[in-house]
Structure 1
Amino acid sequence: MSLNRFDGQSKLLLRSLSFGASGAYRALSIIHRQQRANPDMSLCDFIETLCQDEITCPETEVQPLTVKPLVCLFPPLFKQNLLSFIYLVHSRLPRTSVFHLLKCLSLDPCPNPWVIALSRQLERSLGAHSEEPLYTPMCSQRLKDLSQHLVGSGETVGWKCLKGQIAEPASLSVSDLSELGTQRKRKSSFVTLDSDGEETVEQQSKRIKMDVCGSKHGSAKQWSGHEETPERCESDATAENPHEELQRAPDSPCDALPEHIKLSVLQIKELVESQTEWDQSSTDVFKVLNDCDPAQVEVLCSTLSFPDLPEQTLPKLCSCVLALSPDLSYSTAAALIKSLLLEKVLSLSELASRCLVTTATSLCSRYPRPMCHALIGPVLDKNIGNPQAELLNRLIEGCLDSHYRLLVFQMTFRITWSEAVLSIIHSLLDSKPDLNEELFAQFIDQLVNQGPQLTKSVKFAKMMLTVLTKYSSCVTAAQKHSLSGCLMINETFLKRSLQASLKRITHTRDGNTL
């Protein structure tokens, strides 16, 4: 499957929709940010690209090539998140685009029951009066069996909605289905938009007793063995207490954590979600980071959804981390920085917020080496823009000493230079790093190799001028000859100044006359 049809912003949406059960809300947050930066942005192109035909290769040589809509080639989780996301924003989209997407999804030869239900619900929201229920006939029969079991056992709390509803399957609505555990998340949430178009998510805890999943009257294996059940019963039921909730999630990566770390995860989650002020006890909660190995830190960050944290929470969390004693190890700090900041920095479409800048500079000042390898390096490897370059320049100029500036300087040798990267290199050169002969020779090679693609770049010309003036004593005869050829093809207004500066170089460090 080729993703080259999507632009950078669309690829960011694709990645967010592929990320767990919260993908729809991640995509909603991203689209709000993108629309603030570009009010004319529309999702229509994104939807139409998903609806384009794609040739798929057969699994065996006997089977012929087939053509399917691109959206059908994505995994079921992506399709579910996509439909949930479209449901949240469909009022702002043309009906024809949404119906086109639904038609393409209906061509899937192996449809997922969740995708079918979400598609039908979206059709109803668009005014298409469909008599088809949101669930399969087998699902309806299992709901009847479940209702009879609960009534027979005398358990009615939380299941009163089943009475009188199972007899008429077509009348069962989405709100009824949500009470039956059809939602993927343990906690339900609803989304409203404030005056600035920001997402507000309010979560309310649901306590649903599902003794049928663990009691002697019913076997969980019987319910998970049918293909129409997309989730196991245990994953739909909310535990009686938070600690039990972690223990009863058999497929959760958090199961691999020791008990004391699991307890700390719950405490951190409660702290992050609370609206109260953080005190000294809040710092004590984060001491668990010093007890984790690198793999456990990654599981902890993933379980707590650190990449999804609101930016206004970052400074408080950063203060607690910086208050820890002893300092975090390199691997722990790197994993934490990557989880907290990398995705937020890569998704920037405008200048970084004060909260994000404060957090990044604070962590960079304390943990410069992890910051270079976990954030600055990975960001440089991407096709970054001015917002990312502006933030990296702040970190380089304000937080990194000469040793780490040289490290970042070497990182730029492994990537293709863009206008944003050129501004970072120019800033590094202005700080007069201590370049040895080998490092300077590598840099000159990069200038010569990448120069032909940057003949019209004023930033590249200014950087060359900096090299010829501030580092003239480092230039050898061979390098001067190579630079001369590079300047010949320059097409900016600085060409004559560059050639004049190159002619003024008459000596090198080894005393040879040029």
Structure 2
Amino acid sequence: MFLSRFDGQAKLLVRALLCGTSGAHRALDVFHRQQRVNPDMSLSVFMETLCQDDVACPRTEAQPLTVKPLVCLFPALFKQNLLSFIYLIHSVLPSTTVLRLLKCLGQDPHPSPWVIALVRQLERNNGTHNDQPLYTPKCSQRLKELSQRLVGFGETGGWAMCFSGQTVESDSQHASGLSELGTQRKRKSSFVTLDSDCEETGQQSKRMKMDFSDSECLNVEELRPKEETSGRSESEAPAETLCEELQQAPDSPCDALSENIKVKVLHIKELLESQTEWDQISLEVFKVLNDCDPGQVEVLCSMLSLPDLPEQALPNLCSSILAPALDFSYSTAATLIKSLLLQKVLSLSEPASRCLVTAVTSLCSRYPRPTCHALIGPVLEEKNIGNSQAELLNRLIEGCLDSHYRLLVLQMTFKILWSEAVLSVIHSLLDSKPDFSEELFTQFSEQLISQGPQFTKSVKFAKMMLTVLTKYNSHVTAAHKHSLQGCLMVNETFLKKSLQAALKRITHT
């Protein structure tokens, strides 16, 4: 009935806090997911609503209507979950906000022992000097009775003797209790909960070796069983696993990322794993890349496992990082392109898929220089590239690179050993008619002469030479002509005569 007082996001938190004894950790999961979507979200409105006065309905007609803070009108378990949740996230809440809520809870005439303990603990955490113990007088009495049973705890073997005594006393009942124990183990363990009289109403956790019926747990964190983690949905596991990876290993590379970037990494991870269309709000998360230095971008790409990203996810990702609001530096773009595309291109054994072609061409059109150095160059340097890689590079040359970058790619081929696939790329570069300088053409002709002997029977090499002699005959000097004559003499293809005729037609004035 109180849900109408809250907005959409706060309603999710309230529902989580009402979910039994696991409500605090359910609310924590909800809060983390909301933070991933909106890192700037605040719980101020949620806390303010809980502190607002509301009319308390009387239990009997004889009782008058009273006004109490809304938080006091919720069940005791909700208050316990709420305080446990605040304890888990107290670092992101202003002390004044927390203390105001605790003051409102002080108006509850019948608080449970758990609420009393948690209120006192939170008051201590927020700078209020509360010397009162966390436990109730009844609990104090039980602790005294327990300590009297542990006689000699300060001597050697005191605690061990106590528990040994418990074991000896129970040995006589061991045989008769086996069947009962087996039955209890089959039951699902539950949390230990306390009513207003501080009585135990739930079973002890399966982790407890012995059952002390007169004891009670004082540490809120001990109420969280290990089974809770395994009970979460599989859809939440990847993001939670990544979150744990980001928080552990103090010397790991992820320490280079700020907390804001880590939150964005989690959000990007969720987007990459989703099968739905991304909305405009989701695209905003990629602006974090503008705030990263080269090292942080590399760590971020590694955390997102971009080399292993399915090709089906490439269109969504590329449309995001190519948004008009984003304009990456050379180093950021190069790192992204290398992480995202290089391994996919190198592993091609058949023509590239439509998704991969779209991604490569769109990134190359927007960031041609980073693509040349981070993708095209490394692919050319790979010794075993095949026709699939050559075909993809030729599409980039023809559709995405202007003359300046085509010459840059051609210069890259001067530093590697040519193969049939590389010859195909060079031929595509020559067909695009880049603007050769005299010095660059001289370097290219030297490569033709030095690498030509291994292609005496290659038709691709012969066709490339024919293109040079026909389309670039104005660049061929007398010195070039003399050197190329010797290269053509060893050619053994059916194009040899055509090559010699084309070279002979080149005249110099």
Instruction: Give TM-score scaled by structure 2 length.
Output: 0.54
Quote the residue 2:276 is aligned against. Answer: 276
Q: Does 1:323 align with 2:302?
A: no
Quote the residue 2:257 is aligned against. Answer: 257
The separation in 2 between residues aligned to 1:357 and 1:447, in whole angstroms, is: 31
Pair 312,497 (structure 1): closer, same or farther in 2 beyond 3 Å? same
- Is residue 277–residue 316 contact of structure 2 (8 Å, CA) maintained in 1? no
- Is residue 348–residue 389 contact of structure 2 (8 Å, CA) maintained in 1? yes
**Residue 431 of structure 1, CA deviation:** 1.1
SS for the counterpart of 1:439 is helix
Pair 474,348 (structure 1): closer, same or farther in 2 beyond 3 Å? same
**Residue 470 of structure 1, CA deviation:** 1.0
The separation in 1 between residues aligned to 2:347 and 2:354, in whole angstroms, is: 16
- Is residue 372–residue 408 contact of structure 1 (8 Å, CA) maintained in 2? yes
- Is residue 187–residue 204 contact of structure 1 (8 Å, CA) maintained in 2? no
SS for the counterpart of 2:414 is helix
The separation in 2 between residues aligned to 1:458 and 1:363, in whole angstroms, is: 33
Matches within 5 A, 1:173-188: none
**Residue 479 of structure 1, CA deviation:** 1.2
- Is residue 287–residue 324 contact of structure 1 (8 Å, CA) maintained in 2? no
Quote the residue 1:436 is aligned against. Answer: 437
Matches within 5 A, 1:75-114: none
**Residue 246 of structure 1, CA deviation:** 2.3
Pair 491,156 (structure 1): closer, same or farther in 2 beyond 3 Å? farther
Quote the residue 1:358 is aligned against. Answer: 358
Quote the residue 2:267 is aligned against. Answer: 267
SS for the counterpart of 1:276 is coil
Quote the residue 1:145 is aligned against. Answer: none
- Is residue 297–residue 335 contact of structure 1 (8 Å, CA) maintained in 2? yes
Amino acid at match of 2:343: E
Q: Deviations over 1:194-226 (max 9, x none)?
A: xxxxxxxx956569xxxxxxxxxxxxxxxxxxx
**Residue 481 of structure 1, CA deviation:** 1.0
Amino acid at match of 1:389: A
Q: Deviations over 1:269-306 (max 9, x none)?
A: 11111222201012101000000000000000000101
Q: Does 1:425 align with 2:413?
A: no
Matches within 5 A, 1:276-315: 276-315=276-315
The separation in 2 between residues aligned to 1:450 and 1:156, in whole angstroms, is: 79
The separation in 2 between residues aligned to 1:361 and 1:206, in whole angstroms, is: 34
The separation in 2 between residues aligned to 1:206 and 1:379, in whole angstroms, is: 35
- Is residue 243–residue 266 contact of structure 1 (8 Å, CA) maintained in 2? yes
Q: Deviations over 1:155-175 (max 9, x none)?
A: 986869x99xxxxxxxxxxxx
Pair 289,496 (structure 1): closer, same or farther in 2 beyond 3 Å? same
Pair 276,419 (structure 1): closer, same or farther in 2 beyond 3 Å? same
- Is residue 294–residue 331 contact of structure 2 (8 Å, CA) maintained in 1? yes
- Is residue 297–residue 332 contact of structure 1 (8 Å, CA) maintained in 2? yes
**Residue 248 of structure 1, CA deviation:** 3.0
Quote the residue 1:454 is aligned against. Answer: 455
Structure 2 residue ranges without an equivalent (≥5): 1-188, 193-202, 211-225
The separation in 1 between residues aligned to 2:269 and 2:281, in whole angstroms, is: 14
Quote the residue 1:473 is aligned against. Answer: 474
- Is residue 394–residue 428 contact of structure 2 (8 Å, CA) maintained in 1? yes
SS for the counterpart of 2:457 is coil
- Is residue 287–residue 326 contact of structure 2 (8 Å, CA) maintained in 1? no
- Is residue 187–residue 203 contact of structure 1 (8 Å, CA) maintained in 2? no
Matches within 5 A, 1:46-445: 243=243, 246-383=246-383, 384-445=385-446
Q: Deviations over 1:49-71 (max 9, x none)?
A: xxxxxxxxxxxxxxxxxxxxxxx
SS for the counterpart of 1:487 is helix
Q: Deviations over 1:208-250 (max 9, x none)?
A: xxxxxxxxxxxxxxxxxxxxxxxxxxxxxx97x9756522343
SS for the counterpart of 1:414 is coil
The separation in 1 between residues aligned to 2:271 and 2:471, in whole angstroms, is: 52
The separation in 1 between residues aligned to 2:454 and 2:207, in whole angstroms, is: 67
Quote the residue 2:487 is aligned against. Answer: 486
**Residue 324 of structure 1, CA deviation:** 4.5
Pair 499,315 (structure 1): closer, same or farther in 2 beyond 3 Å? same
- Is residue 337–residue 370 contact of structure 1 (8 Å, CA) maintained in 2? yes
% identical aligned pairs: 73
Q: Deviations over 1:378-405 (max 9, x none)?
A: 1110021000000000011100011111
**Residue 506 of structure 1, CA deviation:** 1.1
- Is residue 289–residue 332 contact of structure 1 (8 Å, CA) maintained in 2? yes
SS for the counterpart of 1:485 is helix
Amino acid at match of 2:415: R
Pair 332,412 (structure 1): closer, same or farther in 2 beyond 3 Å? same
Amino acid at match of 1:471: Y
The separation in 2 between residues aligned to 1:289 and 1:363, in whole angstroms, is: 15
Pair 390,369 (structure 1): closer, same or farther in 2 beyond 3 Å? same
Amino acid at match of 2:290: N
The separation in 1 between residues aligned to 2:297 and 2:387, in whole angstroms, is: 31
The separation in 2 between residues aligned to 1:268 and 1:156, in whole angstroms, is: 40
Amino acid at match of 1:459: K
Tell me the matched-pair count.
293
- Is residue 418–residue 451 contact of structure 2 (8 Å, CA) maintained in 1? yes
Amino acid at match of 1:390: E
**Residue 255 of structure 1, CA deviation:** 2.0
- Is residue 187–residue 205 contact of structure 1 (8 Å, CA) maintained in 2? no
- Is residue 410–residue 426 contact of structure 2 (8 Å, CA) maintained in 1? yes
SS for the counterpart of 1:282 is helix
Structure 1 residue ranges without an equivalent (≥5): 1-150, 164-179, 189-201, 208-237
The separation in 2 between residues aligned to 1:311 and 1:485, in whole angstroms, is: 48
- Is residue 289–residue 297 contact of structure 1 (8 Å, CA) maintained in 2? yes
The separation in 1 between residues aligned to 2:291 and 2:301, in whole angstroms, is: 14
Pair 320,204 (structure 1): closer, same or farther in 2 beyond 3 Å? closer
Pair 252,159 (structure 1): closer, same or farther in 2 beyond 3 Å? farther
Cα RMSD over matched residues? Answer: 3.1
